[in-house]
Structures are given as structure tokens and as C-alpha cells.
Structure 1
Amino acid sequence: MSALSVAVIATHGFSPFHFSVPCIIFGQAMPEAGLFDLHICAEHPGVVHSDIGVSINVGEGLEALDSADIVVVPFWNHPESKPSEALLASLVAAWQRGADVVGLCLGTYVLAYAGLLDHRRAATHWEFERDFTRRFPAVHLDSNALYTHDDRLITSAGTAAGIDCCLYIVRKHYGSTLANRVARRMVTPPYREGGQAQYIERSVPETTRDNKINELLDYLRRNLDKSHDLDSLAGLVSMSRRTFTRHFIKATGVSVGEWLNAERLHRSQELLESTDHSVETVAELSGFQSPVSFRQRFRSRFDISPSEWRRAFRGTRTER
């Protein structure tokens, strides 16, 4: 399987932070070689100055876009100015050829100036919402989204949302396992999906300050597929039912039932993303009493069906 070619475009006045995000995620943060082939390019190769005086020497021109699978505009320092026709034409040609075209933060302006976002959903920094909608009334700006994906056009909100967006792209192509490994290397949350409620990370703690409860949590994670009741669990930690209930809520902030439900849903997500098990088998392995109750709880929590989750986060490629 060949590596995906990523072209990151440096423009004059670029933001070093925004520019470094795709370079790190598709480059240094990759846990293994051969997944992405990173190219830094500019309309005019040579020295390109940032908005804080830092400069980079770029060796490739816009011809790098001709064969790129993913094209990233990490920033645009001049929202009021239309980019050159050469840059806009190259972006349009890349998208028409089948590439993903990405605008991080104010890089969304460049995609909008190219006309690529007309009648499509997009995101950008919230401070520029009024300006953006005034300039591009045909674009459906989602001011609540961390990032959006509409017909191979991917845009993000400001600053740190670029990290979420690039991790989403890794996840889209190679699945959640690789994206999570990259996130761990960067010491950042694995995903904050597009501002949508169904994608919020689990809120239950993995460990507490109570060692007895920690041991019980480890036991429960190893036995999520089994049924549990308060009396048996209290016996495992040598407490009365009432004392155990009080200790558990104090340590975790939630009841035993709430904790188990959250962990079982999290386990089901992992199984949906990393195995070919049927939804019925996923429900059983995750500890739900029936596929029906599993589907109901999953949709209630994430506002999406288990099958839809699998299609969204399985990734079109598999990790090596």
C-alpha cells in the first residue's frame, strides 16, 4: 500500500503554529514510516516569512499539488485579500482530480476564495464569523463546529481545532487505532469530533484515589460482558452495599450503573472500529442484555447507530 501524499502550502505571513500542526501529525508524530509522504510547497519556492519573523526555505512549488492525495492550507494571514489565481486554480484542480483539500483556521478563506465551498458546510475561527459570512454568503458556515467535512473539502475552526482536524484525517484514512497512537505521542485527546454531541469523549475516570475502587474498576473492565449487581461488587471490596455505593460515587463521581453503561459503550466503540464482529456480537461482548437495548443506549448517548459509527470511524485503510 503506497503512502498518501500530503502537500502543505506555505504562504507569506503564515502562522508557525498552524503550519506545524499538519507537518507534525503527518510527519514526525507518525509511529511508523510509509503512511504519509509529506511535502512542503509554496507558490514561489524559496524563503517564506511567517507572521512572527520566523522563516522557512521551501524547495517545492505548486506542482506538488498535482499528485497530492491531501492538500493543506494551514493558514491565511490576509482574510481581506484574495489569493493569487495560480494558487486558487491549483487547489481547484487538485480537488477535481480527487484530492482532499483542507483549510485550517483562516485557511478556510483560501478554499472559499477558490469557490470550492459554495453551497457546502465549512468552519473557521469564530472571531471571523461575521467577516466570513459577509464575504462568502453562499458558504454554509458552521460556527459551532471544530471541523467540517463536505465532499472532500475539510475545514477547521481556530488554533487547536487544527489538531483535531488533522487527527480526523488520519482516522478517516487509517482508522482510530493509528489516530489514537498519534494523539498519545502528541499528548493530546484522541478526538473531539466536529463539535457534535455523539463524539464527546467518555467522562468517566480511568483511575481514582481509592485503591480498592481502582482494583474493582480494573476487574469490571476485564468482565464487562458479565452481569454485575451491587451486593456481589460490594463483597469483592469487603464493604456493605451502602458503604460501597457511597465510596464508588465519591471516587468516580457516578453510580455503578452509570459507570458500567459508559464503559460498555466505550468498549462497543472500540469493537465497532477494530473488529468485523456483528452488532449483535458487539452487544454481547460489551455486556448489554440484548442487541435492542444496545442499539437504544448507543443512539441515546451518541445520536448515531452502531453501524453508522462503524462506517464513520473504521477508516478506509487499515493500519499496517
Structure 2
Amino acid sequence: MATVALAVTDGMLHFELSLACEVFGADMPGSVAPLYHLSVCGPSAVRIGRFRLEPDQGLDHLPHADTVIVPGWADIDTDPPVELVDAVRAAHDAGARVVSLCTGAFVLAAAGLLDGRRATTHWAHTQELTRRHPRVAVDPDVLYVDDGSVLTSAGKAAAMDLCLHLVRLDHGSSIANTLARRLVVPPHRDGGQAQFVTTPVPAPDNHPLADLLPWVVQRLDHPLTVEDMARRARMSSRNLGRHFRTVTGTTPLRWLLTQRIRHAQELLETTDDTLDTIAANTGMGTATTLRRHFNRTVGVPPDAYRRTFRPHRQGRDGSRPPLSLPAP
């Protein structure tokens, strides 16, 4: 079983810590074992906001984990504790995948793990991250960045997006989508999607597209157009486009293509269907069209993706074949 360690000290943000616990500590219905072995690592008792937390392990346990997650760091005006920075660096040197949520990127940057890499953090702090760590290629306009062994996210909802992205990489789309449904959050938002700086992420059932989106997902094998979706939503195509930008951050057709690709990923992972069958079931018509869109979106051909994610599970023993996915 893959191990996940949350690296905590005084001054961490409890929201990001809590959502990481929800994702990586979840027990899946019908599963004989949890998805991950989760531990909280820190120096003795730590203060998280108004709460006192007793870690399971010391920071010296981080190098033994497969994945190390650094939640948001509250006071970015001060340097993070040296013991935390050293422990995170040691974990990366030992081969762990290191992840920051929100302003946890300041800890990774202090450890030198972001030098020469593309990274992100909450949009309100990207300029400060750039100023203090000029060797980091800070991208203020994305939800998260997957740079292989080092991953960073923007704030709050984007931290959840990155955590679900990790579950998808480790266990496949089907399990990640099931977990997202349990948490009542969107199953997938691309890392390259822009951060919602002025528009809050709507509650799952509290926006003008709440009825339309599930209707579309259930009909991915149909030849849907913007006009079809607008008609179903009882609004003009222009109005539909505006609402899609607000709710999803993208256009109706781009969102539709993303859903088709995600469904294709799930079918590649969970069935022996031919590419022609998958293309038909995802509304992409032919295997040629599927290959073109899949390669452009995911970064690898469907056949290579299938070989990599069957079986899904990957631990530190390298049981999953390597797959080079482009950063979002």
C-alpha cells in the first residue's frame, strides 16, 4: 500500500490539512483496504489555527513515505522552520513524491525543490513567491502544476483538485471519480485551468448548469453541439457560453471534450474494449479521432495509457510502468 505523510508544524493552514486527510485517509466502499496508509508527521504537538494536533510520527519519518504533502503555510512573511525544510528536502532526496498545497509552495521553494521548475501557489501570493525565489518559474494562472516528482497547487479548491489528481495517477479515473462523488466535489478540473480569482467556485448544485452537466455526461456517446446544450438549458448559446466560463472556467465544447477524454481514460483502464468501441462510446466517432484528441490532451497515445494504468496501483517498488505526462 502506498504511504502518504502530511508534514506539519506550527502555523499550518487547517483547511488544506483537513482536505488532504479526507482524500488520502478515505476508506472506499467495498474495498478490503484503504487507498493509502496515511500518517501525520511533525515535531511533538503542533498548533494548527486554534487547534492542537498530536502527530503520529516525527518529521524524520518523511523520507520513508511514498508521497509527502505540505499543507498551506500561514505566515508567508516568515521563513518556514528549518527542521521542516530539511525534512522535506530529505524526503525528496530519498525518492518521495513531494506535494505542496496552496502556500506550502514556500516550504518547497525554501528547500530548493522548485528551483528551475514551473510551480504555482495561491494567486494572491505568486508575486511574493517570485520575489523571494527568483529561480522558480511561478505560474499564477493555473490550478496546479504536475512536474513529476514535485507538484504544487493554488489555494483551497485547487488543493482538492491536486489531491484528486494524485489519486487518479495512482489508482485510475474510476476510483478518483468515486471518491470525488463521495466528497461532493467536481471529479476533475485540469491543472491548466485558470484560477478563479474573482468568481467563487459554486456549490455543486447551486449554479445555472447544475442540471445540464450531468445530462451531458450521461450522453457522451451522442453527437452533442453547443446548440443542443443551450436548448436543454433553455438559454441562448451566448448565455450558455457565459455560464460555462463562470462555472467551469472554459467553453462548452472544450469542457465537453474534456469529459469525453476522461471517460475514454476510464474505459481504457477498466475494459478490454477496442479503440473503435471506446471512440463510439465517448462520442469521438473513430479510433483515429480518439487518438488525435487523446494524444493532444493527455500527452500519450491511448495504447500507451492503457498499458500504464492496468493495473493502476503504484508503490515505491515501481510496479507501474513509467509514463511521461506533460505538466498541465
Instruction: Classify the TM-score, shorter chain.
Output: 0.7 to 0.9
Name whichever of 309-318 and 183-192 sits farther off.
309-318
* SS of structure 1 residue aligned to 2:264: helix
Per the TM alignment, residue 193 of structure 1 is displaced from its structure 2 partner at its CA by 1.8
Percentage of pairs with the same residue? 37
Q: 1:125 aligns with which of 122, 147, 152?
A: 122
CA contact (8 A) 1:172 1:313 kept: no
Map of 2:189 onto structure 1: 192
2:118 touches 2:136 (CA, 8 Å); kept in 1? yes
- Cα distance in structure 1, aligned partners of 2:26 and 2:298: 35
Whole-angstrom distance in 1 between the partners of 2:8 and 2:75:
13
Say if 1:176 and 1:314, in contact at 8 Å, map to a contact too: no
- TM-score by structure 1 length? 0.73
Does the CA contact (< 8 Å) of 1:121 and 1:140 recur in 2? yes
One of 46, 54, 58 as aligned partner of 2:55? 58
Cα drift, residue 21 of structure 1: 1.1
Matched residue, 2:96:
99
2:232 corresponds to 1:251: yes
Q: CA deviation at 1:49?
A: 1.4
Give the conservation status (yes or no) of the 8 Å contact 1:119–1:140: yes
Alignment correspondent of 2:110: 113
> What is the aligned partner in structure 2 of residue 21 from structure 1?
19
How much has 1:268 moved relative to structure 2?
A: 3.1
Structure 1 residue 87: Cα displacement:
2.0
Equivalent position of 2:200 in the other structure: none
TM-score by length of 2: 0.71
Q: What do residues 127-156 of structure 1 show as CA deviations (whole Å, max 9, x unaligned)? A: 011111000110111111111111310110
In the other structure, the counterpart of 1:236 is none
SS at match of 1:102: strand
The number of residues matched between the two structures is: 276
Change (3 A) 1:311 1:138: farther
2:44 corresponding residue in structure 1:
45
Mapped partners of 1:295, 1:59: distance in 2: 46
User: Counterpart of 2:286?
Assistant: 290
CA contact (8 A) 2:25 2:34 kept: no
Compared with structure 1, are the counterparts of its residues 275 and 142 closer, same or farther at alpha carbon in structure 2 (3 Å cutoff)? farther
AA aligned to 1:146 is L
Match of 2:213 among 205, 212, 227: 205
- C-alpha contact (below 8 Å) 2:7/2:62 kept by paired residues: no
Paired letter, 1:151: G
Counterpart secondary structure, 1:154: strand
CA shift for structure 1 position 90: 1.6
SS in 2 for 1:206: helix
Report if aligned partners of 1:70, 1:100 keep a CA contact under 8 Å in 2.
Answer: yes
Partner Cα separation in structure 1 for residue 120 and residue 229 of structure 2 = 41
Contact 1:265 1:298 in 2 (8 A): yes
Equivalent position of 1:240 in the other structure = none
Q: Does residue 307 of the first structure (1) align with residue 306 of the second (2)?
A: no
Aligned residue identity for 1:56:
L
Structure 1 residue runs without a partner (length 5+):
209-216, 229-245
Q: Which has the larger radius of gyration?
A: 1
What are the ranges of 5 or more consecutive residues in structure 2 without an aligned counterpart? Answer: 195-208, 238-252, 315-328
